[in-house]
Amino acid sequence: MKEIDLLLLSGDGVGPEVMESAISLLEKIQSSFKINFNLIEGLIGGASIDAHGLPVSDETLNQASQADSILFGAVGGPKWDSLPPNEKPEKGLLELRSSLGLFANLRPAILFDSSLEASSLKPGIIKDLDMLIVRELTGGIYFGEPREKKSSSAFNTMIYERHEVERIARVAFDSASLRNKKVCSVDKSNVLEVSEFWREVVIDVSKDYPDIELSHMLVDNAAMQLVKNPKQFDVILSSNLFGDILSDISAMLTGSIGMLPSASLDNRNKGLYEPVHGSAPDIAGQGTVNPIAMILSVGMMFRYSLNQLEISEKIKSAVSKTLDDGYATKDIADKNSKICSTKELTKIIIDHV
């Protein structure tokens, strides 16, 4: 295999700590599977603001466009909270997604048997959970114009073009075809015209997938059903705003947001891979952050962008074996766990790989 250019964007908070775990894993894979990586480091978020005065620079955007794949840590923290919304660290990630056309966000929620007690839900409700949220990522209210904030009022615009809904719907249906062949499209069509439009377009696209069962659910009900009966879902399809909220709910079903990976893909499956947990500034620098979300994100990279399914499965199996052996960071530990630091847990997982 040719040398693979990977852009590493550690960012802020616990981002650099989980990126260290990813680098250690990549070094192990490089030596074991004879794959050559060219690791390129770039700045984003608060780190970029401090260095360049911008949440993402043209240099980083250029690096991202040239890379074969991107690993991302996290952005944000109290240091930059007072900045205007368009200048905050999170704006760098939004701009990166938009400039690369990363319109499809895949967020799996899989519960490992050994983590059953870590979930806040009863074991009978949550056991064997395996679902996928497909979130539209470059449209909707986060990017809609016009937008404005004044002292007396503020507004944002939620807008979707037909082609935006069609392409994310196809990602959901294609994903379901490889799983249990069910898609639940989430909207708020009872009060929002944009959601009514979303539902109509999804129904049109579904005609090309006659073997996929399509259902619809209002977002408030979907939030309730995720904690009432989450195993009813196979693939959830949602807009940017609704997917942002529902994916964080699904994160807690697994016991910790530190367990969930994600992929953001363009129309050629080039992707940005990141843990869902964010920058967690309250524990940054303590060596206690859970590295599993980042490690599983690396696994998703090998599956979706690098087409190395064997390596992806080995990473997932290594995580499962580590958890089965009772090793855990504090966020997922129970009274019988062998509590590890970030580096210790990373090493154990890598040894299993």
Classified as helix, coil or strand, 179 is coil
| pLDDT (tens place) for every residue of the chain, 353 residues total | 568 999 999 999 999 999 999 999 999 999 998 899 999 999 999 999 999 999 999 999 999 999 999 999 999 999 999 999 889 999 999 899 989 999 999 999 988 877 777 778 888 899 989 999 999 999 999 989 999 999 999 999 999 999 999 999 999 999 999 899 999 999 999 999 999 999 999 999 999 999 999 999 999 999 999 999 999 999 999 999 999 999 888 878 887 777 889 999 999 989 999 998 899 999 999 999 999 999 999 999 999 999 899 999 999 999 999 999 999 999 888 888 899 999 999 999 999 99
Catalytic annotation present for 187? no
Catalytic annotation present for 220? yes
The pTM for the full model equals 0.87
Cα separation, 131 vs 175, whole angstroms: 11
Handedness of CA 244, 246, 249, 251 (dihedral sign): negative
Is-contact 338 311, C-beta < 8 A? no
Catalytic annotation present for 248? yes
Catalytic annotation present for 68? no
How many CA atoms within 13 Å lie on the side-chain side of 13?
A: 23
Nearest by Cα to 202 from 247, 244, 182, 172: 172
Catalytic annotation present for 127? no
Handedness of CA 178, 179, 182, 187 (dihedral sign): negative
- Pick the catalytic residue: 81, 220, 324, 351? 220
Q: What is the DSSP letter of 328?
A: E
Cα separation, 114 vs 190, whole angstroms: 40
Q: What is the DSSP letter of 108?
A: E
- Pick the catalytic residue: 5, 68, 130, 248? 248
- Pick the catalytic residue: 91, 188, 270, 316? 188
In Å, how far from its chain's centre is CA 166? 21
- Close Cβ partners of 147 (under 8 Å, ≥ 6 residues apart): 155, 156, 157
- Pick the catalytic residue: 12, 234, 244, 331? 244
Spell out the domains of the chain, with CATH numbers in brackets.
1-103+266-353 (3.40.718.10), 111-260 (3.40.718.10)
- Pick the catalytic residue: 142, 160, 209, 273? 142
